[in-house]
Structure 1
Amino acid sequence: MQLFHRRRDRFELFDRMDSPALNLTFNLDLPDVRPWCKEQGLAPFHVLLCAVLRSTLAVENFRYRILDGEVFRIDRLTPSFTVINEHNDLNFAQFAWTDDLREFVARGQAAREEASAMTELNGVFRTMTPRAAREQVFITCIPWLDFTSIQHPTANLGTPDIPSIAWGKFRDVTSGRLQLPFSVQAHHGFVDGFHVHQLAQQIAVELTTFMQA
């Protein structure tokens, strides 16, 4: 928490605002992991999901949360993401964390199949304690659209402490590189534009590490 204490005055400034959320949407440039995923038999979405969530843990400022008015630091994440079911309605998939990439992808795919087979809304989040619920990053993927902005929903405009991340359609840019629209929402008391930049850089590092392992 040493890093947070250094910026407590910034937190107090933004936390007093009606909506302290920072929202940034930008073109994220990444190594093209798709050929490697095909060789390895791994789904690109789930590989990117793993890289994104690893990166939010690696950038300290994305670990801070608020509970009962107090700031604390999470030490783990419960992966979750949106899916669509057979009626094209949204649902939520969630699974237990693992550091092993292949197991992470397998668990993510199983969670996707389970949630997408449901007609009703997956209510697993309702069983979580308030603290456990904050051990998440809200993830959504809109692979059909090359979007330029997005408004993430928040239960309470005054406490956007759980980061929301979205990405859209992959597009080729140069040999070995790809771009995609990428959106980050976080509490400005914790996260500045520079930390979003760090997150973007770290995602590229994680993907490169996967391919070199």
Structure 2
Amino acid sequence: MEKFERRRDRFALFDAMDSAAVNICFPLALPDFRPWCKQEGLAPFHVLLCAVLRAVLKVENFRYRILDGEVIRIERLIPSFTVINQHNDLNFAQFDWSDDLREFVARGIAAREEASNMEALNMEYAARTPLQAKEQVFVTCIPWLAFTAIQHPIASLKQPDIPSFAWGRFKEAGAGQLELPFSVQAHHGFVDGFHIHQLAGQIAAELEAIISPAA
């Protein structure tokens, strides 16, 4: 937590505001990993989800949370994301982490199928302990839209400590690259624009490592 202590005064500044959230939406440039996914029989959304969550764990500022009035640093993530059910209503999918990409994807697909086949809202998250509730980020994908802005709901305006991510429709960017709208919402006491820049670069690096593993 030494790194956080260096910015505790920034945290105090933003945490005292009515809303401490910073929200940036930008075009995220990535290596085009879709051909690799097709070759390997892996779902692109779940591969990207894995890359995003791996990146979150490597950019420390996205691991800070507020628990019982104190700032903590989480050591793991519980993957979660939104799905739509058979009535085109939102639901939540959650599953246990795996370091193995194929197992991660398999668990994610199983969680998606379970949540999308539920008519009632999946309340699994409500059974989490207070710490486990903090061991997640909120993820949504809006593949139909090339959106330019988004506002995520926050349970408490004064405590947007669990980051929210959203991404939209892919588009070709030439030379083996693709681009998609990407949104990051986080507590400004923890995260500045620079850290969002770091996260964007780390997501691209995680995907590059997945599709071009070292020999």
Letter in 2 for 1:104: F
Structure 2: which amino acid aligns with 1:189?
Answer: G
Determine the C-alpha separation between the residues in 2 that align with 1:25 and 1:11. Answer: 22
Gaps (5+ residues) in structure 1?
Answer: none
The Cα offsets for residues 27-62 of structure 1, whole Å up to 9 and x where unpaired, read as 000000000000000000000000000000000000
The residue number in structure 1 matching 2:206 is 206
State the match for 1:142 in structure 2.
142
Deviations 1:147-166 (A, max 9, x none): 00000000000000000000
Question: In 1, distance between residues paired with 2:164 and 2:50?
Answer: 15
Q: Which residue pairs with 1:168 in the alignment?
A: 168
Residue-by-residue CA offset, 1:62-81 (whole Å, 9 max, x unaligned): 00000111000000000000
Q: CA separation in 2, counterparts of 1:32 and 1:196?
A: 21
In the alignment, which residue of structure 2 is the partner of 1:93? 93
Per-residue CA deviations over 1:77-105 (Å, capped at 9, x if unaligned) read 00000000000000000000000000000
Partner of 1:51: 51
Provide structure 2 residue ranges, at least 5 long, that are not aligned to the other structure: none
Structure 1 runs of 4+ with >4 Å offset: none
2:107 and 2:175 map into 1 onto residues whose CA distance is: 31
| Identity level (%) | 71
Separation of aligned partners in 2, 1:180 and 1:15: 31
Please state if 1:194 is matched with 2:194: yes
> CA offset at residue 173 of structure 1?
1.2
Distance 1:32 1:212 in 2: 12
Which secondary structure state, in structure 2, belongs to the residue aligned with residue 23 of structure 1? strand
What residue in structure 2 maps to residue 119 of structure 1? 119
Shift of 1:130: 1.1
Q: Distance in 2 between matches of 1:2 and 1:33?
A: 36
**Partner SS state of residue 132, structure 1:** helix
Are 2:108 and 1:108 aligned?
yes
Match of 1:156 in 2: 156
1:72 corresponds to which residue?
A: 72
Q: Distance in 2 between matches of 1:138 and 1:112?
A: 15
**Structure 2 partner of 1:27:** 27
- Give secondary structure in 1 for the equivalent of 2:174: coil
Residue 124 of structure 2 aligns with an amino acid whose one-letter code is V
* Partner Cα distance (2:21, 2:31) in 1: 29
- In the aligned structure 1, how far is the partner of 2:130 from the partner of 2:148? 33
1:171 offset after TM fit, Å? Answer: 0.4
Secondary structure of 1:169 counterpart = coil
Q: Which amino acid aligns with 1:5?
A: E
Residue 131 of structure 2 corresponds to residue 131 of structure 1: yes
